[in-house]
Chains A and B, each alone.
Chain A
Amino acid sequence: MSGSPRTLHPVAWWGWAAGVAVAASRTTNLVLLLLLAIAAGYVVAARRTEAPWASAYRVFLRIALVIVAIRVALQALVVGSGGATVLVVLPQLPLPAWLTGVRVGGPVTAEAVLAALGDGGRLAAVMVCFGAANALASPSRLLRTLPRALHELGVAVVVALSAAPQLVTAVGRVRRARRLRALPHRGVRGALTIIGPVLEEALDRAMTTAAALDARGYGRRAIVPVGRRRATATALLGGLLSVVLGLYGLLDGSTTLHIGPLGAVTTGTLGPVLVLAGAVGCVVGLRMGGRAVVRTRYRPDRFLLPEWLALASGTACAGLFVATAALGGVDSGLAPDPWSLQPPGLPPLAALGVLCALLPAHLTPPPPPAGTPEDT
């Protein structure tokens, strides 16, 4: 089923991760959140490559843990917490009377901690999904799938992103040199003196990079007649404008517009129409813009059955969570009441959703084996 080793289309992985993230954002049920995070981790473990960005998952996992820790600590220390089950009583800071509702220290209840865990856990699970997407397909690969007309924008973003690690090494080098001269290299004063040289260097490098990209043919265009160019711009701008107006209509559907003698129409009906028309305009504009670009693609990622399966499993996961919420209402089990201190249940549909999230680990082809490690 999983086929011969190859890397999956990045859009498939990011779509899958987005689905799982949507599911995670629908629940504060700790059991479900943990299961979703484990599912994402399992897929990463099964399908990640040897590339450097594959270690992103670990970084995002740490960030997620920090988020949970901060959320719980804040709840325990600062936010007033109700509930009866006192875990520990911290020394309380006396605050002026007018600061009602805020306290520092005091009793920490199990209910409050549980509520914080649910809230923090939801955000953490979304982070974990984002980390999984990063680990499975590097963001620069995702940018490369942009339509032709936007491709150069994508390259600019990739190059800009790659400047970040270089900036870090530059700071390290300058700080080291600063120590050699026995000058301050820590604190505000140290930082201020370091910024100058580092930025100067970054600017120099940006100029070199721009020249190098230019020399490689970045930004070559076919000659396009003026009329076509104008049509492209009109289609794109008109489309974008229409999408923005339409979104406004979608969000606030109650306003009634009176359009002369034609009668009245609510923004609620006009909204979707505008969004649709705008989207069509954008697609046409991008297509036309793409024709001015001479570039071709080297071994483009293909979107085959495994890609659709990964995308479908992410969507199914999200769909099952949304369905659970819609069918079960308050008692769906997705958002158990932390104040009752009951063990969270496991809603069957959502559990099925978690299983769906696991599927890509087996339904997608394994990544190609890493090149023979050889160091020079």
Chain B
Amino acid sequence: MNPVVHWESVSFHYPGATRPTLSTVDMAVPEGELCLVIGSTGSGKSTLLRTVNGSVPHATGGTLRGRVRTAGRDTAAHRPRDLADVVGVVPQQPADAFVADTVEEEIAYGMECLGVAPEVMRRRVEETLDLLGMAELRARPLTALSAGQQQRVALAAAFAAQPALLVLDEPTSALDPPAAEEVLGAVQRLVHDLGTTVLLAEHRLERVAQYADSALLVPGAGRPPTLGATADVLAEAPVAPPVVELSRLLDWNPVALSVRDARRRAARLPVPVSAPPLATARERGDVVASARGLTARHGPVPALRGVDLDLHAGEVVALMGRNGAGKSTLLSCLAGLHRPRSGRVTVNGGDPARQRRRDVARSVGLVPAEPADLLLADRVDRECAAADREAGVPAGRTAALLAELVPDVPGAAHPRDLSCGQRLAMALAVLLARAPRLLLLDEPTRGLDYPAKHRAAGVLRRLAAADRCVLLVTHDVELAAQVADRVVVLAEGEVITDAPAAAALSASPAFAPQVAKVFAPAPLLTVDDVRRSLLGGGA
């Protein structure tokens, strides 16, 4: 079979970089495959993907050595626009790149640029709409779509031009789980029913690993990437979904890629894994914050309806629920940014909506969904110094907090150039300088890979152990399983679940993490739980 993409001893330097981002890339992706591109954040995954249509180096600058051939065309001689007929690219934030007013026109736009004959174009738009189940959206204005629908439109727009290859760079990282399912379902339809070649980078491997034909691991630091069968590559990869980690723990070879696979093998385990000795319910501290009969609206739309919630020192609480369930509004109310319609919010004995911001900042810290919004300075060390001055603490306090959370953040770096995890730590350090006892985080692990997520979970646990309460909004059940003591689920502005994590997560099919699904009904949530249970069983 002909390779769709062929990298021949490719290496790439960004302008001014001391080390190559990619080096000695020698690979070929054959036609008709769904190839999963994995690697830690900052390893050069996106760079590798962008060499495929030539936007590296045509749009970014830098020096590319070697040769990249896409559908037989050398990207050195072809600009991205000259490759638009063979490579379809789905961007991470499709809304930034929309050109038309309505779904139908957007899908047609790429074909218009390529000069496809009008009657062919008409037929392909109709077929694409049907194929991706979007016929009812065709006349909708793009601005009226949900994030998942926008992503599907971008996919349809890329696919409709019938390229030989689709490149998707983390198409679901900004989506909630149902929307991500929608998009990945659409991708699978294109791959399995139509044989489209797809290069897909994705953080949440648990969602896609089982569908991939091959995996391409970008190890970072300029080491050569490896391409192979999904199970073989994942077995060695630094990033791996829970089932793969479980397989490594239990020495399954080849590793399991799906829950189904893992469950069948777990049934054959010589020693049945049993529930770990129930962790003694941790002593809960005093109530740091509480809400009573909290009702809030956004204009005429009710966002919260009578929420009662107590948050204790020393616990990590995961707040879950679909988009629009009122999670962010609850955070805003607790941080005093949103004045509730009725009901009471008390944080550290005061009502945050009525206090001065300066006083609120001493009792509550909120990390917004984009942590970089909190950062103002152009250098990490200046940011730390500014935070010290604002909080009125001795100089060096914030820097020390940062070093405690994540070591080795370069002081001279621009906060925007930090990795997602470092930015999160930076924002946390700035807030912690004022020593608030309630920490609120909006989707803290968006864009983090597994190791970074693991570290973030550790940080949050340590913060809670220091007599604080941490409340995090998350869609990520694996994270909730790792870090949370308690899970609160909101639906339509009401609390529908408020229970210890083990009970809340293992009982529900929607919120169960992979390990819980493998070992149900035993209430095991994480690979660590299994490890402890095995050790306990052996002892």
Pair from one complex: yes
A370 to B157: give the CA distance in the assembly, Å. Answer: 22
The one of B59, B116, B146 that contacts A211, using a Cβ cutoff of 8 Å: B59
A191 to chain B, nearest CB (A): 14
Interface residues of B in 81-98 (CB under 8 A from A): 81-85, 87, 89, 91, 93, 96-98
User: Is A140 within 8 A of B101, CB to CB?
Assistant: yes
User: Is A298 within 8 A of B81, CB to CB?
Assistant: no
Chain B contacts of A372 at CB under 8 A?
136
User: Is A209 within 8 A of B370, CB to CB?
Assistant: no
User: Is A197 within 8 A of B373, CB to CB?
Assistant: yes
CB-CB nearest in chain B for A140: B101
**Which one, A58-66, A217-225, A321-329, A336-344, is touching chain B?**
A217-225
User: Is A371 within 8 A of B140, CB to CB?
Assistant: yes
User: Is B81 within 8 A of A219, CB to CB?
Assistant: yes
User: Is B125 within 8 A of A182, CB to CB?
Assistant: no
Chain A contacts of B105 at CB under 8 A?
298
Query: Contacts A52-B143, A218-B81 given: A296-B53 contact, CB under 8 Å?
Result: no
User: Is A295 within 8 A of B115, CB to CB?
Assistant: yes
User: Is B337 within 8 A of A217, CB to CB?
Assistant: no
A194 to chain B, nearest CB (A): 9
Interface of B is mostly: helix
Interface residues of A in 156-193 (CB under 8 A from B): 158-159, 162, 166, 173-174, 176-177, 179-183, 193
CB-CB nearest in chain A for B335: A180
A20 to B365: give the CA distance in the assembly, Å. Answer: 56
CB-CB nearest in chain B for A212: B97
CB-CB nearest in chain B for A181: B374
A142 to B358: give the CA distance in the assembly, Å. Answer: 50
CB-CB nearest in chain B for A173: B373
Tell yes or no: A230 within 8 A of B by CB.
no
User: Is B358 within 8 A of A182, CB to CB?
Assistant: yes
Interface magnitude class on chain A? 35 or more
Interface residues of B in 64-121 (CB under 8 A from A): 79-85, 87, 89, 91, 93, 96-102, 104-105, 108-118, 121
User: Is B139 within 8 A of A371, CB to CB?
Assistant: yes
Interface residues of B in 41-67 (CB under 8 A from A): 53, 55, 58-59
The one of B59, B109, B139 that contacts A370, using a Cβ cutoff of 8 Å: B139
User: Is B368 within 8 A of A220, CB to CB?
Assistant: no
Chain B contacts of A374 at CB under 8 A?
136
B110 to chain A, nearest CB (A): 5
A189 to chain B, nearest CB (A): 12
Chain B contacts of A141 at CB under 8 A?
101
The one of B80, B361, B372 that contacts A182, using a Cβ cutoff of 8 Å: B361
Tell yes or no: B149 within 8 A of A by CB.
yes
CB-CB nearest in chain B for A214: B80
A220 to B361: give the CA distance in the assembly, Å. Answer: 53
Chain B contacts of A181 at CB under 8 A?
361, 374, 390, 430-431
Which residue among A162, A209, A216 has the maximum number of chain B CB atoms within 10 Å of its CB? A216
Chain A contacts of B430 at CB under 8 A?
181
Chain A contacts of B372 at CB under 8 A?
197
Mask of A122-138 contacts with B, CB within 8 angstroms, 1/0? 00000000000000001
A23 to B257: give the CA distance in the assembly, Å. Answer: 71
Chain B contacts of A240 at CB under 8 A?
none
Chain A contacts of B149 at CB under 8 A?
376
Tell yes or no: B229 within 8 A of A by CB.
no
Mask of A342-367 contacts with B, CB within 8 angstroms, 1/0? 00000000000000000000000000
Chain A contacts of B83 at CB under 8 A?
215
A224 to chain B, nearest CB (A): 14
Mask of B363-397 contacts with A, CB within 8 angstroms, 1/0? 00110101011101000000000000010000000
Tell yes or no: B137 within 8 A of A by CB.
yes
Chain A contacts of B158 at CB under 8 A?
216
A53 to B141: give the CA distance in the assembly, Å. Answer: 9
Chain A contacts of B122 at CB under 8 A?
298-299
Tell yes or no: B360 within 8 A of A by CB.
yes
User: Is B148 within 8 A of A177, CB to CB?
Assistant: no
A368 to B104: give the CA distance in the assembly, Å. Answer: 14
User: Is A215 within 8 A of B87, CB to CB?
Assistant: yes
The one of B84, B125, B137 that contacts A217, using a Cβ cutoff of 8 Å: B84
User: Is B117 within 8 A of A296, CB to CB?
Assistant: yes
Interface residues of A in 214-243 (CB under 8 A from B): 214-220
Query: Contacts A180-B374, A182-B357, A296-B116 given: A213-B97 contact, CB under 8 Å?
Result: yes
Chain B contacts of A216 at CB under 8 A?
81, 84, 89, 97, 99, 109-110, 113, 157-158
Tell yes or no: B13 within 8 A of A by CB.
no
CB-CB nearest in chain A for B53: A215
Tell yes or no: A102 within 8 A of B by CB.
no
Chain B contacts of A193 at CB under 8 A?
376
CB-CB nearest in chain B for A174: B373
A200 to B378: give the CA distance in the assembly, Å. Answer: 11
Tell yes or no: B263 within 8 A of A by CB.
no
A183 to B361: give the CA distance in the assembly, Å. Answer: 10
B40 to chain A, nearest CB (A): 22
A180 to B331: give the CA distance in the assembly, Å. Answer: 12
A287 to chain B, nearest CB (A): 17
User: Is A220 within 8 A of B373, CB to CB?
Assistant: no
Which residue among A138, A207, A212 has the maximum number of chain B CB atoms within 10 Å of its CB? A212
Tell yes or no: B281 within 8 A of A by CB.
no
User: Is A208 within 8 A of B376, CB to CB?
Assistant: no
A374 to chain B, nearest CB (A): 7
Mask of B130-162 contacts with A, CB within 8 angstroms, 1/0? 000000111111011010110000000110010
Supply 11 further A-B pairs (C-beta < 8 A) apart from A179-B337, A180-B366, A214-B79.
A52-B141, A52-B143, A176-B368, A176-B373, A210-B59, A211-B80, A212-B89, A214-B59, A296-B121, A368-B139, A374-B136
Q: Can you offer 25 A-B residue contacts whose CB atoms are under 8 A?
A: A51-B101, A155-B99, A166-B96, A176-B337, A180-B431, A181-B361, A182-B360, A183-B376, A183-B390, A208-B91, A211-B80, A213-B99, A214-B58, A214-B59, A215-B83, A216-B97, A216-B113, A217-B81, A218-B81, A220-B114, A294-B115, A296-B115, A298-B118, A368-B139, A371-B137
Binding site for A on B (CB under 8 A): 53, 55, 58-59, 79-85, 87, 89, 91, 93, 96-102, 104-105, 108-118, 121-122, 125, 136-141, 143-144, 146, 148-149, 157-158, 161, 179, 335, 337, 356-358, 360-361, 365-366, 368, 370, 372-374, 376, 390, 416, 430-431
Please list the 3 inter-chain residue pairs (A to B) with the smallest Cβ-Cβ separation, ordered nearest first. A217-B84, A212-B97, A298-B108
